[in-house]
A and B are shown apart, each in its own frame.
Chain A
Amino acid sequence: MATEETGNVAAGAAEQSGGMPQLNFDTWASQIFWTAVALFILYKILNRSILPRISGALEDRHNAIADDLDRADELKREAETATETHRQGLADARASAQKIIDQQQEEIDAELAAAEAEAEAEIAAKLAESEKRISEIRAEASGNAQQIARETARSILEKIAPGLANSDALDAAVARALEKSELSS
């Protein structure tokens, strides 16, 4: 077949080999040679430029995703820290507010107590003064009553027995009587 000049390698051979061009071994060398050449070229191009690009792209994406996840993790941690700080601040504020309230309460209590004490003292002073005045009035009143009683008794005695009146004895009797009446009243 190799010497055939018609440009058709297989036609004659195919007829000889029962119509299967696959079994025309004259064409095998050419097929194997060109397949090998094509495979070699394909392998070189794939291995040199295409496969590294694909694996590079995949790796880049993998790294980008990993980086993003890392950053998300970091942000989450930051957010947690912020929340913790916030909570701490809230607790501090609450505590200081409570402290201020307590202090204020104490101050108010103290002021109240002081005011109360002052008022009590004032009241007590006024009471004492009032009592003093009452006793003065009473003493005055009782003094007046004694005098009135003595003068009344003397004038009665003058009317009944003039010149007989012993003023000292009279005074004593009047005082005794008054005392008795005061006790009984």
Chain B
Amino acid sequence: MAGKPAADGELVIDPMSQFEIKRLVNMDLGIIDLSFTNSALFTFIAVALTVVLLWVAVSGHSLVPSRAQSMAEVFYEFTRNMVRDTAGNEALKYFPYIFTLFVFILACNLLGMVPYSFTVTSHFAVTVFLALSVFITVTVIGFMKHGAKFFLFFWPMSAPPVMRPFLCIIEVISYLARPISHSIRLGANMMAGHAVLKVLAAFVGALGVFGFLPILGVVGITALEFLVAVLQAYVFAILTVVYLNDALHMH
């Protein structure tokens, strides 16, 4: 995270180097490269931390919860209520998937806040994969539940008949745009915050005595980034639930 003033005093700002993917274990299969990278390593660290923390929290399993258990329960109920309030009781059978998605993104986002770590969710490969998975799953659920009637989702019955074909096109485009906005929102947020931190940090050394100014900025942005990390995980999860609600109830 530290700035990199070059030895000759020339300011070198390279905010994107922190996002570089480095191959740790070569698994190049020729047709496809599935090498174990720093991204994969931090993905598994995030998963391991999530599992360990939740496991410790629930291993007590007492009637009067410990602090950790109580936090796990609050998080569980918060997510569950989010699913039920947004998409109804019918959606509760998909709750484990949404919970997994939520904790996964949250863990990756927060792990990225640790200096020298890697922010998995700042890569569009990951966010596009997650968003496309949600998009495809939700669309399949919609067609499985409503059959061909699910196409009526794009046919605005409340609009005047003349307008319906045009609105239908808009509806289809907006539906297809969902995974794009869904993934870019998360990835761009995570990437931008970390890049800004890097740029500001690079100014600290360059400004000499006045280096405390960018430090104040870094402190502020870091606090903001924690907020963004939690908020974007929540936004991703609740948008997933909203899409699920559309598939289950067609508005």
Is B90 positioned at the interface, with any CB of A under 8 Å from its CB? no
Contact with A along B59-88 (1 / 0, CB 8 A): 001110100010011001100000000000
Nearest A residue (CB) for B59: A53
Q: How near does chain A come to B205, taking the closest CB pair, in angstroms?
A: 21
Q: Contacts of B240 on A, CB cut-off 8 Å?
A: none
Q: Contacts of B247 on A, CB cut-off 8 Å?
A: none
Q: Contacts of A31 on B, CB cut-off 8 Å?
A: 21, 37, 39-40, 120, 123, 125-126, 129
Q: Contacts of A60 on B, CB cut-off 8 Å?
A: 63
Q: How far is the CA of A35 from the CA of B124 in the complex (A)?
A: 12
Q: How far is the CA of A28 from the CA of B33 in the complex (A)?
A: 9
B100 lies within 8 A of A38 (CB): no
Q: Contacts of B28 on A, CB cut-off 8 Å?
A: 2-3
Q: A38-B47, A43-B96, A57-B65 are in contact. Are A7 and B125 (CB under 8 A)?
A: no
Nearest B residue (CB) for A48: B96
Query: Which residues of B, 180-194, contact A by the 8 Å Cβ criterion?
Result: 187, 191
Interface residue tally for chain A (C-beta within 8 Å) = 46
Q: Which of B48-56, B138-146, B166-174, B216-224 contacts A (4 or more CB under 8 A)?
A: B48-56
Q: How near does chain B come to A140, taking the closest CB pair, in angstroms?
A: 114
Q: How near does chain A come to B27, taking the closest CB pair, in angstroms?
A: 8
Nearest A residue (CB) for B187: A22
B43 lies within 8 A of A35 (CB): yes
**CB < 8 Å: which of A1, A7, A53 contacts B22?**
A7
Is B153 positioned at the interface, with any CB of A under 8 Å from its CB? no
Is A128 positioned at the interface, with any CB of B under 8 Å from its CB? no
Contact-residue size bin, chain B (C-beta under 8 Å from the other chain): 35 or more
Q: How far is the CA of A14 from the CA of B80 in the complex (A)?
A: 41
Contact with B along A51-67 (1 / 0, CB 8 A): 10111111011001000
A35 lies within 8 A of B129 (CB): yes
Q: How far is the CA of A27 from the CA of B37 in the complex (A)?
A: 9
Q: How near does chain B come to A22, taking the closest CB pair, in angstroms?
A: 5
Q: How far is the CA of A50 from the CA of B27 in the complex (A)?
A: 32
B61 lies within 8 A of A27 (CB): no
Q: How far is the CA of A55 from the CA of B120 in the complex (A)?
A: 30
A57 lies within 8 A of B33 (CB): no
Q: Contacts of B39 on A, CB cut-off 8 Å?
A: 27, 30-31, 34
Q: How far is the CA of A2 from the CA of B32 in the complex (A)?
A: 8
Nearest B residue (CB) for A9: B23
Q: How far is the CA of A21 from the CA of B124 in the complex (A)?
A: 10
Is A26 positioned at the interface, with any CB of B under 8 Å from its CB? yes
Q: How far is the CA of A61 from the CA of B64 in the complex (A)?
A: 8
Query: Which residues of A, 25-52, contact B by the 8 Å Cβ criterion?
Result: 26-36, 38-39, 41-43, 45-47, 49-51
A residues at B contact (CB < 8 Å): 1-3, 7-11, 14, 19-24, 26-36, 38-39, 41-43, 45-47, 49-51, 53-58, 60-61, 64
Question: Can you list 29 A-B contacts with CB-CB less than 8 angstroms, sorted by A residue number?
Answer: A2-B30, A9-B21, A10-B22, A21-B19, A21-B123, A22-B122, A22-B124, A27-B21, A27-B39, A29-B34, A30-B21, A30-B33, A30-B37, A31-B39, A32-B125, A32-B129, A34-B39, A35-B129, A38-B40, A39-B101, A41-B47, A42-B104, A43-B96, A43-B100, A45-B51, A46-B54, A51-B76, A54-B76, A58-B77
B residues at A contact (CB < 8 Å): 14, 16, 19-23, 26-28, 30, 32-37, 39-40, 43-44, 46-47, 50-51, 54-55, 58, 61-63, 65, 69, 72-73, 76-77, 96-97, 99-101, 103-104, 120, 122-126, 129-130, 187, 191
